[in-house]
């Protein structure tokens, strides 16, 4: 059997139950015994608690593992979504950046390096905080919020997004001997290996606290959902009995031995980032952009050329850049690939077709390109000569104008027609939700979910 590559990922968050530190210490020591890399996504509160409780042993044991990020405070103090939702997008992004910079800074100070990946807390995400994590240097987003089951990596908001295939927590919650638990975990591993296919990568997550606790520390402390107690008032979670804890430890040792025995490749998020990220500035040739333009006309979706996929935001960015230079005197021989975010406000819907001349199309493309340079994202619409271009219609018109220039040396006008405002890639996000113990149960974050949908402009295959 050809095994997929595996990433072992740890949501390391319980800052109130001291025994969760011991669980973490044991999981790490077994990884060290087997020389297997782990990816430890720490919450700022947890890193500070390790210092507080004098657990230098753990901090040192983590030296050979990847350090990742799981928020400053698990998005509890104050809750992320309800704090950000009333703000305008820029304010929300600035708030998230300010708040999370503290957690990233503390983790760097305590563990000696900056986190590589962002691992989502519960189903608690916003586009503003994802942008903040990217700005803080995290190029990977694991346990992503995409609703569609699909093990393949995708880019979203310029982060390489990976799903969790499953959690070890499921197996240690079940009764049975270490060998019985192992048998169930191995059966699951083989099933997901089949699903991932050859060359696939699967991420296995776990919460170290659940190897010793009966329940989550946050669930234990929240009596009335939406009103968590003040941070200083949180109480340790109830513990499992000694026998169960020993059983869990034995299972972990057996599973790592099994994993080693398969000979599968064990990776970190940094390895994934190195495989998928392009690093330096990329350029498209005139012909390559022509291929992407034809693709955008055939299908409103991300597409690939020269072995790399391009989001609709990148394609519009490149077309805008090229058409702006054309207007100044000539089509450039090579076009830089910029990776703007999608619009942050819902584009105004078109109600009827609109004919626009070549000059208006080129002018709108130039204005969109300048907007991308200034704000790093797509505009929600561009006004030129009394005409309003939503981004979707501008993409198609710009693609037609660009191909016309390649063909005849002249741009062409277009008929803008009503249609979807987001690319087909948005299907990946359909049914996505936002929820956590930090949020009120009846909370319906329509605005945040809509902002998430608009970022489907940045989706592309990894
Ligand atoms: Zn968590």
Reported as a single tens digit per residue, the pLDDT across 414-446 is: 999 999 999 999 999 999 999 999 998 889 999
> Going by C-beta distance under 8 Å and a sequence separation of 6 or more, which residues neighbour residue 99?
72
Measure 214 CA to ligand 1 centroid, in angstroms: 16
- Separation of CA 315 and ligand 1 centre (Å): 35
User: What is the 13 CA–ligand 1 centroid distance (Å)?
Assistant: 6
Dist CA 142 CA 162 (whole Å): 5
pLDDT for res 270: 98
CA of 74 to the centre of ligand 1 (A): 6
Please give the model's pTM, rounded to 2 decimal places: 0.96
What phi, psi does 154 have (nearest 5°)?
-130, 155
Please give the distance, rounded to the nearest whole angstrom, from the Cα atom of residue 97 to the centre of ligand 1. 19
Distance 216 CA to ligand 1 centre (A): 9
Q: How many CB atoms lie within 10 A of CB 7?
A: 26
pLDDT for residue 221: 94
Distance 70 CA to ligand 1 centre (A): 7
* Listed residue (199, 139, 159, 165) closest to 460, CA to CA: 159
- Residues 6 or more apart from 254 whose CB is under 8 A from it? 178, 179, 182
Q: Report the separation in Å between the CA atom of 380 and the middle of ligand 1, taken as the mean of its atom positions.
A: 34
Determine the distance separating the centroid of ligand 1 and the alpha carbon of 264, expressed in angstroms: 27
- Cα 147 to Cα 78: distance, rounded to the nearest angstrom: 26
C-alpha 397 – ligand 1 centre gap (Å): 44
Distance 119 CA to ligand 1 centre (A): 8
CA 103 to ligand 1 centroid distance, Å: 14
Task: Give distance in angstroms: CA of 18 to centre of ligand 1.
Answer: 17
Distance 68 CA to ligand 1 centre (A): 12
Per-residue pLDDT of the chain (462 residues; tens, 9 = 90+): 678 999 999 999 999 999 999 999 999 999 999 999 999 999 999 999 999 999 999 999 999 999 999 999 999 999 999 999 999 999 999 999 999 999 999 999 999 999 999 999 999 999 999 999 999 999 999 999 998 888 899 999 999 999 999 999 999 999 999 999 999 999 999 998 888 877 889 999 999 999 999 999 999 999 777 678 999 999 999 999 999 999 999 999 999 999 999 999 999 999 999 999 887 889 999 999 999 999 999 999 999 999 999 999 999 999 999 999 999 999 999 999 999 999 999 999 999 999 999 999 999 999 999 999 999 999 999 999 899 999 999 999 999 999 999 999 999 999 999 999 999 999 999 999 999 999 988 899 999 999 999 999 999 999
CA–centroid distance, 362 to ligand 1, in Å, is 47
The domains of the chain are located at 5-276, 283-421
Report the separation in Å between the CA atom of 152 and the middle of ligand 1, taken as the mean of its atom positions: 22
Domain 5-276 has CATH 3.20.20.370: yes
Ligand 1: centre distance to CA 385 (Å): 51
How many whole angstroms from 218 Cα to the centroid of ligand 1? Answer: 9
Which residues in 326-348 are b (16+ Cβ under 10 Å) and which e?
beeeeebeebebbbbbbbbebbe
């Amino acid at each position: 059997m050809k095994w997929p590559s595996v990433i072992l990922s740890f949501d390391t968050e319980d800052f109130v139950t001291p025994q969760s530190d011991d669980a973490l210490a044991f999981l790490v020591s077994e990884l060290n015994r087997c020389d297997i890399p782990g990816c430890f996504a720490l919450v700022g509160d947890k890193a500070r608690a390790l210092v507080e409780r004098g657990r230098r042993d753990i901090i040192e044991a983590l030296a050979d593992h990847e350090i990742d990020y799981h928020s400053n405070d698990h998005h509890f103090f104050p809750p992320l979504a309800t704090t950000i939702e009333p703000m305008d997008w820029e304010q929300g992004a600035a708030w998230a950046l300010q708040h999370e910079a503290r957690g990233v800074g503390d983790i760097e100070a305590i563990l000696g390096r900056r986190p590589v990946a962002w691992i989502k807390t519960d189903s608690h995400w916003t586009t503003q905080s994802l942008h903040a994590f990217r700005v803080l240097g995290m190029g990977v987003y694991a346990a992503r919020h995409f609703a569609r089951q699909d093990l393949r990596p995708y880019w979203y908001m310029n982060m390489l997004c990976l799903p969790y295939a499953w959690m070890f927590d499921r197996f240690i919650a079940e009764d049975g001997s270490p060998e019985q638990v192992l048998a169930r975990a191995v059966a699951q591993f083989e099933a997901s290996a089949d699903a991932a296919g050859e060359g696939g990568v699967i991420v296995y997550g776990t919460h170290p606290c659940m190897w010793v606790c009966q329940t989550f520390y946050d669930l234990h402390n929240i009596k009335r959902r939406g009103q968590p107690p003040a941070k200083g008032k949180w109480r340790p979670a109830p513990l499992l009995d000694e026998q169960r804890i020993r059983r869990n430890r034995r299972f972990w040792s057996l599973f790592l031995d099994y994993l080693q025995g398969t000979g599968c490749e064990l990776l970190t998020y940094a390895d994934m980032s190195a495989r998928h990220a392009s690093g330096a500035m990329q350029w498209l040739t005139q012909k390559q952009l022509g291929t992407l333009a034809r693709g955008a006309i055939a299908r409103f979706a991300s597409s690939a050329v020269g072995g790399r996929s391009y989001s609709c935001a990148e394609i519009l960015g490149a077309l805008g850049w090229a058409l702006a230079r054309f207007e100044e005197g000539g089509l450039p021989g090579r076009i830089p690939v910029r990776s703007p975010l999608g619009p942050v406000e819902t584009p105004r819907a078109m109600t009827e077709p609109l004919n626009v001349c070549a000059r208006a199309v080129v002018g709108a493309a130039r204005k969109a390109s300048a907007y991308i340079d200034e704000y790093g994202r797509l505009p929600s619409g561009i006004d030129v000569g009394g005409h309003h271009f939503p981004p979707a219609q501008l993409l198609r018109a710009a693609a037609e104008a660009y191909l016309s220039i390649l063909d005849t040396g002249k741009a062409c006008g277009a008929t803008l027609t009503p249609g979807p405002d987001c690319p087909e890639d948005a299907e990946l996000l359909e049914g996505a939700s936002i929820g956590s113990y930090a949020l009120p149960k009846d909370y319906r974050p329509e605005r945040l979910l809509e902002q998430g949908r608009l970022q489907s402009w940045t989706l592309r295959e990894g």
